[in-house]
Structure 1
């Protein structure tokens, strides 16, 4: 049996508990790994609350991204061998001592980065990379990131800056130093945000990457002339209503390898601000669910 942390019903934190599940055998297209680190993301609590559907077999294990050591290889999988240090998208929940990765969304970890850093890449950094590409702004243009202080926003700011894009980001004043460390300009969110965005970008912004949704997105959209340059990870309905769209995902092993190389070269800092053992997974979940997590939170396992 392998220790795991998941939920037994849809709802709030009261549905979470530790689980014992059998060691999973990898089927076609899967890698069986001993987990060393797992990323904590907002999508985890959204799944638990049933906001992304209620069709999962329960109990279910949290976690969408993991890094670890290959133990078993499923039929048809090539490019990996037992003992490889890898990272990728989890097929069966990452908050566990052992899990399965999707081989088509996994890559071998470079020696230059640790398991914790690698575990930030398959969801958060890959989403950021897809988002910046999908918005379609170029060097010399201005990108506004709504909710810049979290894991996806922090990565998106760095990726955009590496491509010569000027970055603005909405965040609380408490996160101003963090936003500036990303090479971005902080804009305080809340009432009057559109006016503050215009003050920072008098000619308007050239694209918006939305990680928040709702009224914050509606207010910020007024500063964007070309609504086709509005992409959301958080609120597809509002984005579509405003003339934008939901993010297009394109995670591949090559994408993940390129992101890992950026980390190894010191060009992308995952900004890990919290490391928790599996026994304290609920604390990490609570902080992310509060909406006040800065940077990226990681579970270190094994």
Structure 2
């Protein structure tokens, strides 16, 4: 049996608990792995609360992305073998000692990169990469990242600057140092943000990558010179109303490998700012659910660790 952390009903943190489940056998297109790390994302608690539908079989194991060591590969899986160190999108929940990864959304971990660093690439970093590819802005253009200090925003700023873009990012006052350290011009969100943005970018911005949606997006949309250059990862309705679109996701082994290679060479910092052992999964989820973490939160799973 393997320990896993999940929820037994839809609702708040009180529905979360540790579960026992048998080791999973990989079916077609799946990779069974001994988990070493798992990224914690806002989507995890949103699923638990039922915000994204209530169709999952309960109890359900939480977590969307993980890294670990391959135990077995399923039928039709190529490019992976037992003993390989890998990372990818989980097909059976990531907050666990053992799980299944989707082969079509997994890649080999470079030896120079830690399990914690690659575990957070599949959701936040890959989303940022997809969104910037959607926008397609060339070097020398100006990009505004709405919500620049979180997991997706932290990576988006780095990737955008690497592409030669000038980057501005909305953030709180406490997030200002973080955004500045990433190389972006911080713009404090809240009342008066449009005026502050106009002062920082008098000629407007060439593109907006929205990670917040709603009023936070509406407040800054006026700075965009071409509404077609608006991509949102958070709010397809508001983005469409404003003339933009929702991000097109295309996570592949190749795209994940490129991100991992950038981490290996030091060109990308996944911004892992908080690490918790699996036994403290509830605390990690609570931090992300609070809406205040800077960068990425990771669960670390060590061999022989004590889990309730």
Are residue 55 (structure 1) and residue 33 (structure 2) matched? no
TM-score in terms of structure 2 length: 0.97
Distance 1:12 1:135 in 2: 36
Give 1:136's aligned residue: 136
3-state SS in 2 of match to 1:126: helix
Quote the Cα distance in structure 2 between the aligned partners of 1:265 and 1:222.
Answer: 38
- What is the CA-CA distance between 1:226 and the residue it aligns to? 1.2
TM-superposed CA distance for 1:225, in Å, is: 2.5
Aligned Cα root-mean-square deviation (Å): 0.8
Deviation sequence 1:244-265 (CA, Å, 0-9, x none): 1110001110000000000000
Q: After alignment, is 32-41 or 166-175 more displaced?
A: 166-175
Indicate yes or no: 2:216 matched with 1:208.
Answer: no
Give the SS at the match of 2:183: coil
- Deviation string for 1:193-214 (max 9, x for gaps)? 1111111111111111111111
- 1:271-286 equivalence runs, <5 A: 271-286=271-286
Kindly provide the CA deviation profile for residues 48-97 of structure 1, in whole angstroms up to 9, marking residues without a partner as x.
11111111111111111100000010000010110000000101100000
Is there any run of 5+ residues in structure 2 with no aligned partner, and where? Answer: 303-308
Cα distance in 2 between the residues matched to 1:213 and 1:143: 16
SS in 1 for 2:11: coil
Q: How many residues align?
A: 302
Q: CA deviation at 1:30?
A: 0.2
Structure 1 runs (4+) deviating above 6 angstroms are: none
Which secondary structure state, in structure 1, belongs to the residue aligned with residue 223 of structure 2? Answer: coil
Match of 1:187 in 2: 187
SS where residue 69 of structure 2 aligns? strand
Unaligned runs of 5+ in 1: none
Query: How does the TM-score come out when normalised to structure 1?
Result: 0.99
Q: Which residue of 2 aligns with 1:69?
A: 69
SS at match of 1:173: coil
1:235-287 Cα shifts (integer Å, max 9, x gaps): 11111111111100011100000000000000000111100001111111111
Matched-pair contact (CA < 8 Å) for 1:136–1:207 = no
